[in-house]
Amino acid sequence: MQLSMYQASIPLFVRMLENMSAILDKAATHAEAKKIDQSIFINARLAPDMYPLSRQIQIATDMVKGCAARLAGIAVPSYEDNETSFAQLQARIAKTTTFLRSISAEQIDGSEEKPITLSSHSRELGFLGQAYLLHFVYPNFYFHLTTAYAILRHNGVELGKLDFVGAY
């Protein structure tokens, strides 16, 4: 059986965002139990030249909502990137998963050869749909989710591998 573009995208994105939501729940509980202002976590970075936790979540959600919209041939939803609390990051994840669930398999399947053009700061990037998903979206999505996990783990939130990958 062949794996469709829908099967390789939307369910995976939703699962990983739900896992990140559960991780953020643990972080909020940890912050409350330890009497740590949650802004410490929201603004934490692994290195001075890396983005903070809030931006990692913003980019991860932007990556998948953009992917779903582009593959489906619809407008990419725009978010403000102004989250400053765990509750606001949770709302962003929820908004993203709601959007992802609104996309049907019929909208995405068959997009393997669909031309996708992205404008970056200094150039345009061109892909075909499958290469865009596998070689651009996946690595970026996982990088930002992993970095968010690592920021929280580094700052004392008790997390393990199963928190990231989820239950089977």
Residue 73, in any domain of the structure: yes
- Give the pLDDT score at 122: 86
Phi-psi region of 126 (alpha: psi -120 to 50; beta: other; left: phi over 0): beta
| Per-residue model confidence as pLDDT tens for the chain (168 residues) | 689 999 999 999 999 999 999 999 999 999 999 999 999 999 999 999 999 999 999 999 999 999 999 999 999 999 999 999 999 999 999 999 999 999 999 999 999 999 999 988 889 999 999 999 999 999 999 999 999 999 999 999 999 999 999 988
Helix, strand, or coil (residue 167): coil
- Give the pLDDT score at 1: 67
Residue 56, in any domain of the structure: yes
Give the contacts of 14 (CB within 8 A, at least 6 positions apart). Answer: 97, 100, 101
**CATH number for the domain that contains residue 45:** 1.20.120.450
Residue 3, in any domain of the structure: no
Residue 154, in any domain of the structure: yes
Residue 84, in any domain of the structure: yes
Q: In angstroms, how far is the first alpha carbon of the chain from the final one?
A: 21
Residue 39, in any domain of the structure: yes
Domain count of the fold of the chain: 1
Residue 20, in any domain of the structure: yes
Domain with 63 in it? 10-165
- Give the pLDDT score at 120: 81
Residue 68, in any domain of the structure: yes
The closest alpha carbon to 100, from 108, 111, 88, belongs to 108
- Give the pLDDT score at 162: 96
The closest alpha carbon to 20, from 93, 87, 88, 92, belongs to 93
Cα separation, 15 vs 127, whole angstroms: 25
